[in-house]
Structures are given as C-alpha cells and as structure tokens.
Amino acid sequence: MGPIHYDINIEQAKDHIIEVTASLLKPKGKQTVRLPSWIPGSYLIREFSKDIIKISAKQNGRSKKINQLTKNTWSIDCQEDHELKINYLIFARDASVRTAWLDLDRCFFNGSSVFLSADGFESEKHTVAIKKPSFNSNWKLATSLVSSKVDLKGFGVFEAENYQELIDCPVEMGDFWTGQFIACGVKHRVVVTGAPITFDGSKLLNDVKKICEYQIHFWHGKKKPVIEHYLFLLWAVNDGYGGLEHKNSTALIANRSDLPRVNQGKPTDGYIQLLGLFSHEYFHTWNIKRLRPVEFNSLDLTQENYTELLWFFEGFTSYFDDLILVRCGLIEISDYLKLLSKTLNQVLQTPGRNIHSAAQASFEAWTKYYRPQPNTANITVSYYTKGALIALCLDLTLRLITVTQDHSDEKIKPFFTLDDVMRKLWVDCKGGLMSEMHLLKAIKDLTHVNLNQKINDWVHSTRELPTLELLKNFGVEAKFEPSQWAQKLGLRIAESSGPNLIVKQVLDGGIAQKAGICEGDEWLAIEVISRKKGGQSQSWRINKLDDIQLYAGEHRFINALISRDKKMTQIKIDLKEMYNNKTLRLIQSDPSRLSKWLTQ
Ligand SMILES: [Zn+2]
C-alpha cells in the first residue's frame, strides 16, 4: 500500500454505484481532498463531483466530521499522521469515454471521476485495489496502470507514480473480447466490449498493428519508442462515436455496426472511420500527451486551462489520422479523397469560420466548441477540421519548396514534408512543452524559408485557406455538385428528431434565415406555389428536406408550414438564390503528382 490507497467496490452494479474507500496513511492536521472538474483531453468543465452521492470519514475507528468547502473540495480536521479513511459513493452511468459507467455487463471508469486527490500528496505513490465482482466470474480487468499483484483475470492491486498518472489510466472490467500484438517491440493490447459474434478480431488487430508500426516509425525511426506498452479500450454500442487519449492507452466508443465482420471484404465507410479513430487517438500518444502546449505544463484540474494551440494538437492529429491509413495501404486513395472532401465541406459550410480564427476557436473551446448551441456554427469553427486543413496547406507548401541548401552530411532530400517538421519539433522540444514559436522555428531551420506570415494568416486570421490551389499542384481537382437541401437552405436538422423535421441550427446568410425560420421549428409540410397564373398550388407533408426536390422541382416559391411552440405558422421561402449552392468533391486528376504527396 502506498501513502494513499484506494479500494474499489463494484458490488452495487445494479444501482450503478461505485464505492470507494481512500486511505491516507499520514494525513495532515487539516486535510483537504478534492475531485477534478474536468478530464484532460476533453475541454469542458464537467463537475465530476456532481456524481458523488455521500461522503464520510473515519480515523482510529471513529467517524470524523467532514466539511465541504466548495463544490468539489472537502476538509477533515485530523489527528496528524494517523490513518484517515474516506468513504464515498459514485453514481456511474455516463455512456461516454470521459467519466464512469457501471452495470451488470460492464464497469469503466476514468480516475478523474473516481479518485479524490489529497492536498500535499499529489506527487506521492498511489495504489488501488480492485476486487473481482461476486456477480460474474467471467469478468476480466484491463488498464494501463502498473499492476503490483493481480490474478489471472487482471484483478488485484495497481500502482501509479503520482496522482496525474493515476487518473491517466482508465480501467475497463467485464466479459470483453481481448487480443494483442507486438509493434516495434512494444506490446499492444486491444479490448472490445459489446462486440457481436460476427466481429472479426484478428482483422482489427492486423489493421491496428499496421497503424501502430507506422506511427512508431514516424516519430522514432529505428530508435527505441517512447512507450513500453499500450492499451486500446473500445466500447462498441448501438450508436456512439468518440475517443479520449491517454499516455499509454486510449478509451474509444464506436458503433457496433462499424466493427469488421468475418468475410466482410472491402472495408465499410464505418470501419474506415473506426480505423481513423484508432489512428487519431494513437497519434496523440506523441502529439498532446507528450509534445504539448506550454500552457499545459501543470494542469489545474479545478478550472479551464487555456491554449491557442488546439488547431495544432487536434487539427494536425486529424490531418495525420486518415493520411496514415492511406499510407499504410488500409484505404484507397479515393477513400482518402472522400474523407478530405468531407473535412473541406465541413469548414466551408460553417459560417463561423468568418468570425473565429483557428487560434481563437482553440482558446474558446471550453465555452464554444464544447458547449454547442443553436448558434455555434455561426460563431466558431472546429479547430479539428480547420486545423487539419492548415496542416494540409503547410504540408503541401513545404513539399513545393525546392531544397537548395547544402546537405553534404546527409542524404539529399528533394523536399521537406510536415513529417519532418513534426519529428524536428519532437527533438527540439524533447517530446515536451511547445509553443507556436517552436513550430515557426522548426520550419525555418529545416527549409531556410520563412513561412511565418503565411502561417500567421492561416492560424490567426479568418482569411480563406489556399487549400484548392495547393491541391491542384498535387494532381487533385475539385468538382462541385448540388448540395443536400439542408445545406441549400442554410440549416441543420436535429439528428434525433426521427420522422419529424426539427430545425437545430439556422446558418448565417442562408435563405432559411432570410425567410425567418428559427431553431426549434418543426417543419411539417410545404405548399408549392404554382408559377402559372391561376395555377393550383399543392401542399405536401414532408419527413425529410430532400423531399422538397420531388415536390417543388424548379418552382421558385414555397410556403413552409411550421409548428413553433405548437402554434402553426406559414413562412414563404424564395428558393431563387439557392441553386448556386454547391458541395465540393475532390477527385484525382494526375496520379503521378498525387503520389508525390500521398505516398512520400
Ligand atoms: Zn483528438
């Protein structure tokens, strides 16, 4: 047992309650304990303490008064250096990768939802004991915490060098599927919970292994990798998507239908997306978990920690995640261009790109990106997608710079790439803290060309990126196709609205906004107004916006029949300005030029 130890009891699975007993061997006279308010990697104050049901303390076998100081801190007047035990219950039923979950099928938790930290002891060794539940003998346990004494199923005692390490190692328990592989000498384990019997585990292991080997080479060449072991925890659900990166592991959530199936053949779009998620979170092992913003030197888990650099850490990771799939041969070039087209369209169809720069979007992630509301698309831009396009523009710009300097001491490279810049940053920053200045300097040192002004424009202004011009140089052309009706009208429909059309967002400048449609409107029907004098108008019930094409065709005016707060309203929409609205599709026009980017 370390100076601070936790016992985890999951017997109350039916009630979704995790019981924790934290034992502090030598507490202070006035001992304060606290729970984080957010989890690193997910930039939102989540107030994990809201899930604590009750908390009590004991010393020398007697109850001690526990004083709550704030929403997430408590203090106990103790007899110094006598063991203090704090017992508390946590409600665990959040179906995401960010908090905790417990039922009779599965238990998952992040330490930030479960372990109270003890002031003054954060740098000490922390130990945890997790007992196998009595209700299911098939359960196993997987975590990247170092085990000090565990049974064959993985239950037992674990340790962490400090509190930060303790909360960076999520724990999964259940009757899950598990497999492993060695990549560049590093043991990788993959755990999948919720997989159907048709799941092809060896296909997933083979494909993920390729990604891991590629990325280890990417960062380290033939040198020793920075990781000694790695764990992927995937929860397969009916409907879900997301991931959260950790130093030696990642927690993922994805659709069950996106898992590879035995004898499936060509990868489905869903499986490609799943591989992209594996690739993304694994890339974070280097890009944000080690190489990280200088502002993240010491994280304050009680409040927002601001950085302007998420366009780099999330955006560049988003650029490389799919690019690595095509470089590994896991997807076709046409698949990759489809994914890139989607990213480009997402940015181009977000009016907020004219309001927020990528740096501003990063800084305000806590209140804008992570707190989506009806106006979000009009006031900010995703630092994932815009950041990925900045990475693309930078990569292509670098590849167009002719290398002229003397490289007498090494093999002459015809051009530099963003890979070179990432590796140089890794070396320059010693795999640690970095700022935007380090990026600019790494580029200048490598290429002897000053790209500061360009990068400043892309990152700190709202000017359009030169994406399509640059892609042309690499044999990629953009074709334009008619958009979906939601885009033509300038609105977004709520995905969970089922057969009813509920307006979720109204985009700035769109014809829906001009006509007066509002967020929350339920669009029931359209009346198509005849163009002919004395012609009959027609009314149609609609369940999807694309039905407008069938019923209105080339007619200029329609009336939208709207239910707003249950009051029926008719809104006249002029469709005239809409027909120019196009969605872009990237196609390969010159394979030899394209190969200079995608395969080198
Ligand atoms: Zn990410």
Q: How far apart are CA 335 and CA 318, in angstroms?
A: 16
Look at residue 410 in the predicted model and tell me its pLDDT.
56
CA of 317 to the centre of ligand 1 (A): 7
- The amino acid that residue 181 corresponds to is F
CA of 245 to the centre of ligand 1 (A): 7
Phi, psi of 248 (to 5 degrees): -125, 15
CA of 52 to the centre of ligand 1 (A): 28
Helix%, strand%, coil% for the chain, nearest 5: 30, 30, 40
In the structure, ligand 1 is a single-atom ion and the residues with CB under 5 Å from it are: 314
Q: How far apart are CA 17 and CA 8, in angstroms?
A: 11
CA of 101 to the centre of ligand 1 (A): 22
In three state form, how does the secondary structure of 281-295 look? HHHCCCECCCEEEHH
Strands 229-237 and 186-193: parallel
Strand positions, DSSP E, 300-404: none
CA of 293 to the centre of ligand 1 (A): 14
Sign of torsion, CA 22 26 28 29? positive
Q: How far apart are CA 408 and CA 91, in angstroms?
A: 64
DSSP at 592: H
Identify the CA nearest to 243 among candidates 280, 213, 214: 280
CA of 127 to the centre of ligand 1 (A): 29
Look at residue 535 in the predicted model and tell me its pLDDT.
79
Give 382: exposed, middle or buried? Use CB within 10 Å, 0-12, 13-18, 19+: buried
CA of 365 to the centre of ligand 1 (A): 13
DSSP 148-165: EEE-TTS-EEEEESSHHH
CA of 244 to the centre of ligand 1 (A): 7
- The amino acid that residue 244 corresponds to is L
CA of 165 to the centre of ligand 1 (A): 19
Question: 272 with 336: CB under 8 angstroms?
Answer: no
CA of 441 to the centre of ligand 1 (A): 24
CA of 307 to the centre of ligand 1 (A): 15
CA of 96 to the centre of ligand 1 (A): 15
Identify the CA nearest to 89 among candidates 20, 167, 11, 6: 20
CA of 246 to the centre of ligand 1 (A): 10
CA of 119 to the centre of ligand 1 (A): 30
Low-confidence spans in the chain with pLDDT less than 70: 404-412, 497, 579-580
CA of 388 to the centre of ligand 1 (A): 11
Strands 126-130 and 4-12: parallel
Look at residue 213 in the predicted model and tell me its pLDDT.
98
Q: State both tokens at 422.
A: 């990432």
Q: State both tokens at 550.
A: 């069938």
Q: How far apart are CA 333 and CA 21, in angstroms?
A: 53
Q: How far apart are CA 588 and CA 290, in angstroms?
A: 36
CA of 276 to the centre of ligand 1 (A): 11
CA of 90 to the centre of ligand 1 (A): 27
pTM of structure:
0.96
Look at residue 412 in the predicted model and tell me its pLDDT.
60
Look at residue 297 in the predicted model and tell me its pLDDT.
96
Phi, psi of 271 (to 5 degrees): -70, -35
Look at residue 580 in the predicted model and tell me its pLDDT.
57
